[in-house]
Structure 1
Amino acid sequence: MVGWAIALHGGAGDIPVNLPVERRVPREAALRHCLDLGVSSLKSGKHPLDVVELVVRELENHPNFNAGVGSVLTTQGTVEMEACIMDGKTKRCGAVSGLTSVVNPISLARLVMEKTPHIYLAFDGAEAFAREQGVETVESSHFITPENIERLKQAKEANRVQIDYTIPVQKDLTGNVPIPNSDSQLGTVGCVAVDRHGNLASATSTGGLVNKMVGRIGDTPIIGSGTYANHLCAVSATGKGEAIICGTVARDVAALMEYKGMSLAEAAGYVVDRSVARGTCGLVAVSATGEVTMPFNTTGMFRACAAEDGHYEVGIWP
């Protein structure tokens, strides 16, 4: 018998230590609320797959995170959401990309896993499948917040594609020197869980990068990059998708445990410190024996975890 454990994240990146209270507090409260929801679900005997879906749905519905409502905008000012879910014991998984109307992308990803012979559906095909399955859809304006319209404007002015928490820059009164603006970016969301029987699951959901090209797909829905679970561990990553894809981040954590005999913390630490560039990645992970780890190589990562041994943590910075 092992102990249950759960961890979740709300994005990693260049989060300023002087993040204004009005931006920090609602996110910390949301993380705590979602953690408590996950813990009570695990304690009541729910399967980790149900738990991670439930928690990520809750995070998608929160406008302060870059998933579902609050998703960042493409270069054309549109929303293209993606999500992925995976069951560790069976390695069954489902992923979706390019969603513009689905209220909870993570639940559609699970339906892809359970109701189709496929793993990954995208764009028009995924939207059609959502309608066929009767999942809740809305006008895409539902997902767009005033903050993200402003973020896209800043990203276009700076001529860049922004990671979850790049600090936008504003010019000083002379119009020359860039001054960091305290408005932090929103973050991808994810959750991993293990129950007392060693069942593992991982789920991740995102709106992608600010000012991304239309049609760009990140690490979140790619099995082994942003999301992975097997019989040893469950991993959900966040940060710069392109770097996470190149580093096969989530799968590497599992591989180091399987082939090198590393502990969860050693494997995750190795990947975050040595497989990807600094400032690009963070992850949350749990093992089949109830260990939890949440390393990152960015300034900060919105994160929370709890375990049966009494460990409970909500944090942003190291």
Structure 2
Amino acid sequence: MVGWAIALHGGAGVDPNLPTERQEQAKQLLARCLNLGISALRSSASAIDVVELVVRELETDPIFNSGCGSALTENGTVEMEASIMDGPGRRCGAVSGVTTVKNPVSLARLVMDKSPHSYLAFTGAEKFAQQMGVEREDNDYFITDDNIGMLKLAKEANSIVFDYRIPTNRYESCGVEMESPIKMNGLPIEVYAPETVGCVVVDGEGRCAAATSTGGLMNKRTGRIGDSPLIGAGTYACDLCGVSCTGEGEAIIRATLAREVAAVMEYKGLALQAAVDFVIKERLDDGKAGLIAVSKKGEVAYGFNCVGMFRGCATEDGFMEVGIWE
């Protein structure tokens, strides 16, 4: 028997000027969802059931970018995506382009459990959702006023909101050198972009699981698919570990970031935190991202190379942390 461990995230790359009230709201949500997962683990729930349970809860709150509160496409619509993976047997399920499903992570679970496939997208995913009788909502449920305003700003800046690089260029005003206004990919940094959610768990039997859910990028092209539903990129679980990633999807895809954590553990013999540190440093190139991970030994780890990551983690021996910054 090993001790259980759990970690969850609400996205990487955080505005350092994010109002304290918003920070506290995010941390309270993370703590509530973390405690939900802890209670389930104490009741001997399996890792796969716990990651689904926690991500479902994150999807129902508009603070982060999944389910209710999802980012909007260039057309002002939602195209949600999610994936889930069960370490034993490496079973997995994923969906993309979902527009009506209240909890995309549970639809991904149904793809894994109730279909012969691993991945369904767009009209096929919606038809499967209807056949499975999952709870569905009208567009108004998913779209928040904050995100409508965010999309307007993104369109004005002709920008996609996802880039967490903070430039340090200086400019001259009235003959005085000044710091330039900090921007994220062309948008003022005061604008807060909600982010992807995810959860990883190892249960008391040493079984690992991972799940990730997102609305994608604000002002993204319709049909764009990010890392979150891609097994091995945004989500991965095996007999060694469970991993969920967040950040610049295109960079995470190129790095096959989640699978890379498991690979360096398996082939380089690295411990969990060392594996996380290695892939964040060596595999992202110029990309900005973060990830959470657990191992079959009951360890928990996280890492990021951007300005903070919304996260929470806990282990059976009593350790618990909820944080945003380094």
Assess same fold via TM > 0.5.
yes
Aligned AA (1:301): M
| Structure 2 residue 323 is matched with structure 1 residue 315 | yes
| Structure 2 residue 162 is matched with structure 1 residue 154 | no
Match of 2:215 in 1: 207
Counterpart Cα distance in 2 of 1:145 and 1:296: 28
Identity, in percent, stands at: 61
SS at match of 1:295: strand
| 1:64-79 alignment runs, 5 A limit | 64-79=63-78
Conserved? CA contact 1:164–1:209, under 8 Å = no
Match of 2:273 among 250, 262, 265: 265
Conserved? CA contact 2:165–2:306, under 8 Å = no
Match of 2:137 in 1: 138
Counterpart Cα distance in 1 of 2:239 and 2:71: 34
Could you list the per-position Cα deviations for residues 90-144 of structure 1 after superposition, in whole angstroms to 9, with x for gaps in the alignment?
A: 1000000000000000000000001110000000000000011000011122100
Conserved? CA contact 1:12–1:164, under 8 Å = no
Match of 1:299 in 2: 307
Match of 1:63 in 2: 62
- Give the drift of 1:196: 1.4
Match of 2:252 in 1: 244
Could you list the per-position Cα deviations for residues 213-241 of structure 1 after superposition, in whole angstroms to 9, with x for gaps in the alignment?
A: 00000000100000000000000000010
Conserved? CA contact 1:164–1:186, under 8 Å = no
Aligned AA (2:262): A
SS at match of 2:88: coil
SS at match of 1:244: helix
Counterpart Cα distance in 2 of 1:313 and 1:224: 26
| 1:114-263 alignment runs, 5 A limit | 114-163=113-162, 178=181, 180-263=188-271
- Give the drift of 1:279: 5.5
SS at match of 1:90: helix
Gaps of 5+ in 2: 167-179, 183-187
SS at match of 1:255: helix
Counterpart Cα distance in 2 of 1:219 and 1:18: 27
Counterpart Cα distance in 2 of 1:238 and 1:129: 27
Counterpart Cα distance in 2 of 1:89 and 1:125: 27
Query: What RMSD, in angstroms, separates the aligned Cα atoms of the two structures?
Result: 1.5
Match of 2:37 in 1: 38
From the superposition, tell whether residues 164 and 130 of structure 1 become closer, same or farther in structure 2 (CA, over 3 Å): farther
Q: Which structure 1 residue ranges, 4+ long, deviate > 3 Å from structure 2?
A: 164-167, 177-181
- Give the drift of 1:287: 0.1
- Give the drift of 1:22: 2.1
Gaps of 5+ in 1: 168-176
Counterpart Cα distance in 2 of 1:69 and 1:269: 32
SS at match of 2:33: helix
Conserved? CA contact 1:94–1:111, under 8 Å = yes
Greater Cα offset, 157-166 or 240-249? 157-166
From the superposition, tell whether residues 50 and 90 of structure 1 become closer, same or farther in structure 2 (CA, over 3 Å): same
SS at match of 1:294: strand
Aligned AA (1:79): V
**Structure 2 length as normaliser, TM-score?**
0.92
- Give the drift of 1:165: 6.3
Aligned AA (2:48): L
Match of 1:7 in 2: 7
Match of 2:96 in 1: 97
Alignment length, in residue pairs? 309
Aligned AA (2:22): R
Conserved? CA contact 1:79–1:143, under 8 Å = yes
Counterpart Cα distance in 2 of 1:153 and 1:277: 31
Counterpart Cα distance in 1 of 2:165 and 2:94: 26
